Structure 1
Amino acid sequence: MGRALPMTVREEGLPERVTIYEVGPRDGLQNEKAIVPLEVKAAFVERLVAAGLPIVEATSFVHPRWVPQLADAAELVAGLDLDGAIPLPVLVPNERGLDRAIEAGCRHIAVFASATETFAAKNLNTTLEDQFAMFEPVVRRALDQGIDVRAYVSMCFGDPWEGAVPIEQVVAVGTRLLGLGASQLSLGDTIGVGTVGHVGALVEAFGAAGVGVDRLAMHFHDTYGQALANAHAALRQGITTFDASAGGLGGCPYAESATGNLATEDLIWMLDGLGIEHGVDLDAVVATSIWMAEQLGRPSPSAVVRALT
């Protein structure tokens, strides 16, 4: 008996194709308690590329003191094909991180901003306003070097200290980052509290501010089991880029019982059922997630990985 496949039923008005922005090697591994060996990280990236994922975020040039799990970023990047057809972005927190990324030959970077005052203080050691002064030279210098810049905004749907985050505040932060020169804005539901109506309202608010869906990506966490529903709501708004993590790796250290990022496999299953093209080999991603779960010594939290295992 062959494995189960979803029946394809097109839904009117949805995009015909989406881009899956794979964040497993960076966002998925940065919160691991144990240090994952360099050769395992390299194999993880290479397997995800081979599975057909069009973008694979490889690592972060954050100071090792803050994220010791990714302290080998330079060594990892040195062994990757940065000039290949598949972009392998890296996260950079500041100008020093940018220096390291440039030295390593990176062609795609991402910066990580906050939609709230408290998270800016705790995670970036700055204020909501001053973060832009920190990012401005990073973005400017990167663009001068011909490097593409993506901007993440965290806490777009809720903050564990401040509670609900005003939509207009998220839009204000996001439009300023785009104004600095970021090519794409990834809106993060860092603690997974977003719901479908909230997703629609946020995308519509960006549209009213002159930011089209082609500039936006969605980054959902499944803490409360809402990630796939929220992704579907975003599809209905015309969003065509979704961040996802193979096997559902990762999570927010500030949210108890956070179950991590939207699993790449779960997203693919839904897209296949909707007849939306993505170009990724589901079996290859599942096999990679099973392999990585073995490296980490625990089962994958992805429902699709569990179902197909």
Structure 2
Amino acid sequence: MIRQFLRPLLWVRPLRCMVDEKFDVRVKGLLPSARVTLHALLQSEDGDFWQGFSHYVSDKAGKVSVYEDASLGGSYDGVEAMGLLWSMKPIPGSRTGLRLRKQDVQTQTDVYISVYKDHLTHGFQEKPSVASVVTERWYMAPGVQRVNVTEKGLKGTLFIPPGPGPFPSVLDLWGGGGGLVEYRAALLASRGYVTLSLEYCAQTDADGKNVGIGYFETAFTLLRQHSQVFPERVAILGLSSGAFLSKYMTAYSSVIKPRCIVSLSGTHAFLHTDSRADVSRMVKRMTIRYDEEHRQIWRDAILPLIDDPLKKVE
């Protein structure tokens, strides 16, 4: 039987780069029209394994290029330079309800790129690869400063790009799941934005109540007054409940007055109140629906036209 593999060589450049940076993955030394599977594997800080894979057929020169050639199957199709990464899913048999997240932005994520004979869809751990390379993906670029923020009652982490500045700035608000999430802020700082990732879900005021709009105005003002920030170029980036709060502040804050607002797939419902607890109560009052696996469906929560006419405004 004619061998489809001579001396396969897996070539990946760059081996060390930012998580959003495209990389070039190539296989050389194959026979023409050889069927191969490229496989990417990483272990999250939660201990779970994630994978992406793609199917290729080598050209007349016995080469495959992820950057130039179309994947014929696997976890994605077509020409996708970053497909091995963005198509990653938990490996079969993993826990349910997983999220791929980075907790320690000062360490790298190791991604193992491997080449396998034929077009495979499972059993990668049980089969030997013909070539393998370890790459590093980073959220925090060299020279970025990471500073804990505890002043003025705030809790967050400030990331400052290398250089004297001044820089544009971003106040980064994550969702209602809580916690101090840093990886988006670290990546933004690596791209030239002074970014403050702000914790707010577990924060309370002097009376033990959930923090109100003044908490976010303090964080916004802190950024505007920073010596390395353009005071007129401060943005707010919100996700989920962070997006709700961003639009709320745009409407009602006397301190935060943006020039424009962009909302992608967000809710248009607001409460004329200074309490996040009222938002949570409104969500809980919504009609709860479940799918066939008894998972709660949030699609109808806080619809643009909410179900209580008294909460609507002209």
Q: Same fold (TM over 0.5)?
A: no
Larger Rg: 2
Q: TM-score, normalised by structure 2?
A: 0.31
Relative to total residues, which structure has the larger helix share, 1 or 2? 1
Q: TM-score, normalised by structure 1?
A: 0.31
* Structure possessing the higher relative contact order (Cα contacts under 8 Å, 6 or more residues apart): 1
Relative to total residues, which structure has the larger strand share, 1 or 2? 2
